[in-house]
Structure 1
Amino acid sequence: MRYQFVYYPKCTTCQNAKKWLNDNGITYEERNIKDENPSAVELEEWQKKSHLPLKKFFNTSGLLYKSMQLKDKLPKMCDTEMFAILATNGMLVKRPILITGNRVLVGFKEDEWKQIK
């Protein structure tokens, strides 16, 4: 199975996830989220496969999220608007993201990731 690992290299959680993938012999294709931001279409597809609420795709601890005051704005937005905002800058997107054939994992929770092996 082919995996896509979407991450930000300076993110400690992403570094831990990458180490976990390597330690477990899982091969993957890397994608730096800052260099290659996901499109709204990709994000919508990933969100469906993740079975998570769209708000879980926002990097709520990020500086950009805070400076844009998205905590206050998101409740008033429709999904289309949220996907459009996420697609403007990879730093708004929660990471790492691991994409498998039919599953998408957002954030690194080792117990969840173990289930993909």
Structure 2
Amino acid sequence: MKTTVALIASALLIASSSVFAEEHASESLKHAEHAVTHGKAGHAPQLVEHAEKALAHVDKAESAASGDAKAHISAGKKSLEETIAHGKQNHAEVATKHAEEAVSHFKAGNI
């Protein structure tokens, strides 16, 4: 009986972790896409704001991911870091290219 309860509890924990990771991955993609939109409009401060929000969610999604998905999330994370660095220098055009790379990586990682 205790073994069955432990197995069920473990299965629920794993399932909830997956949902938790998907939620953060989805938020990362959403904010990265908003960063691109603002970057194309030349709004560097808003681009940075959304890239930072995306980055906050990426860390949580990355820790739960594995395989190719994790590799794409990690690459997207690096692109977001470049987005933020260039956006803070008011280089909206360059920052936007990095944000677009992040979006591409996140989509390739199925997040």
TM-based fold match above 0.5: no
Give 1 or 2: higher strand fraction: 1
Give 1 or 2: higher helix fraction: 2
| Higher CA-based Rg | 2
Higher normalized contact order (CA 8 Å, seq sep 6+, divided by chain length): 1
TM-score, length-normalised on structure 1? 0.30
